[in-house]
Amino acid sequence: MPENDLVVVESLHKAYGATVAVDDVSLTVRPGEIFGILGPNGAGKTTTVESIAGLRTPDRGTVRVAGLDPHRRRTEITSLIGVQLQASELPDKIRPLEALRLYASFYPAPRDPADLLEQLGLTKVKDTPFAKLSGGQKQRLSIALALIGNPRLAILDELTTGLDPQARRDTWELVRQIRDAGVTIVLVTHFMEEAEYLCDRIAIIDNGRVVALDTPAGLVAAARSEQRLSFRLPAELPDDSVLTALPAVHTVSRDQDRIIVTGNDDVLVAVVTELAGRGLAPIDLQTERTTLDDAFLALAGRNFEGAQ
Ligand SMILES: Nc1ncnc2c1ncn2[C@@H]1O[C@H](COP(=O)(O)OP(=O)(O)OP(=O)(O)O)[C@@H](O)[C@H]1O
């Protein structure tokens, strides 16, 4: 194991009865990075991070955090990792300062609750009951609770789900500040834009497997060898296989009434020629910028949104 990896996951496998949640996941997280785990709903993201946090027992494979087995070394792991899980609901009446003081009492070397509230912009609402906080404030409190134990690693799961665009942006800045203050972050998300904006490296998980692991730029560059066209047609195609049968075409998908085709450098000519032979002229034909969405499409063979 390279000494500088904070998290090492090797060939992780976890099934719930007949449902294989994590099939074969290997990844490493380096100290100081924001590492994204990106994938559609049900891909196995939460099971993977819960295994890292020692909250699930793997059926096979190994997990090490700072060289420790999280399942066997519960006490040490609890103070190394701060977890903000999806359903972190608190009692309606609890107040932020009170909640942080309570959580602080569980840890050997906690952060100062008042300082943390200040850092997260929650000082003004420190005595406001949880139920009266805005969505963004609740979310920031759940992040504060993940940080109160002064962890080396914070696991943030779907942290901006349900937030409006401004609160989401604010939360992204906050995550960067936390990382800049020295906390390594594993960020679980199904938002492409969030992963692209925030993460140093991303593992794309689909059907319990890592289908790609790279920097956002690396993932996009790998997909850029693909050309991507989108257009509408004046009449329906008899079948998508008309296009998928063309050697230059890799994938065909749909976004409402638009057809999206990816393929090699010859794809534009091949598709337009095929359609012309059928008396169909594409309407509003566009070649589009390659994004992480396209990387997912190229890797998983289907649209990310369609995989939800
Ligand atoms: N405790 C459980 N019992 C049974 N099945 C489970 C359990 N937890 C997860 N699963 C199933 O395992 C698969 C992976 O779930 P997991 O929550 O790890 O995925 P995810 O990528 O985090 O999805 P989401 O974004 O929807 O939370 C899903 O099919 C899910 O229904």
Q: What per-residue confidence (pLDDT) applies to 303?
A: 62
* Ligand 1 centroid from CA 45, angstroms: 8
C-alpha distances in angstroms, 31 versus 20, 166, 204? 30, 29, 20
pLDDT tens for residues 236-250?
A: 888 889 999 999 998
Q: Is the CB of 20 under 6 A from ligand 1?
A: no
Closest CA to 170 of 120, 124, 123: 120
Confidence of residue 9 (pLDDT cuts 50, 70, 90): very high
pTM: 0.77
Q: What per-residue confidence (pLDDT) applies to 128?
A: 96
The two structure tokens encoding residue 33: 């990075």
pLDDT(49) > 90: yes
Average pLDDT over residues 159-163: 78
* Ligand 1 centroid from CA 16, angstroms: 9
Closest CA to 35 of 43, 23, 27: 27
| Chain length of the chain | 308
Average pLDDT over residues 117-145: 91
pLDDT tens for residues 23-44?
A: 999 999 999 999 999 988 888 9
Give 5's DSSP letter: -
In order, the DSSP letters of 90-153 are: --TT--HHHHHHHHHTTSSSPPPHHHHHHHTT-GGGTTS-GGGS-HHHHHHHHHHHHHTT--SE
Q: Is the CB of 19 under 6 A from ligand 1?
A: yes
Confidence of residue 259 (pLDDT cuts 50, 70, 90): very high
CATH topology for 227-289 is Alpha-Beta Plaits (3.30.70)
Close Cβ partners of 304 (under 8 Å, ≥ 6 residues apart): 40, 192, 293, 296, 297
CATH, range 7-219 = 3.40.50.300
Q: Is the CB of 46 under 6 A from ligand 1?
A: yes
For residue 48, give the ligand 1 atom closest to its CA: 18
Cβ atoms of 188 and 158 within 8 Å: the answer is yes
* Ligand 1 centroid from CA 208, angstroms: 10
pLDDT tens for residues 173-194?
A: 989 999 999 999 999 988 888 8
Q: Whose CA is nearest to atom 30 of ligand 1?
A: 42
> Number of C-alpha atoms within 13 angstroms, CB side, residue 97?
9
Distance CA(258)–CA(266), nearest Å, equals 20
Average pLDDT over residues 123-141: 92
The two structure tokens encoding residue 213: 């692991």
Q: Is the CB of 39 under 6 A from ligand 1?
A: yes
Distance CA(219)–CA(260), nearest Å, equals 20
Mean pLDDT of the chain: 88
> Hey, which residues does 184 pair with through a beta bridge?
153
* Ligand 1 centroid from CA 158, angstroms: 14
Q: In what order do the strands lie in the sheet with 60-65?
A: 60-65, 7-16, 19-29, 209-214, 201-206, 34-38, 184-189, 153-157, 81-84
Confidence of residue 302 (pLDDT cuts 50, 70, 90): low
Confidence of residue 45 (pLDDT cuts 50, 70, 90): very high
Close Cβ partners of 43 (under 8 Å, ≥ 6 residues apart): 205, 206, 207, 208
Ordered by start, the domain boundaries in the chain are: 7-219, 227-289
pLDDT(6) > 90: yes
pLDDT tens for residues 82-113?
A: 998 655 578 889 999 999 999 999 898 999 99
* Ligand 1 centroid from CA 308, angstroms: 13
Q: What per-residue confidence (pLDDT) applies to 1?
A: 45
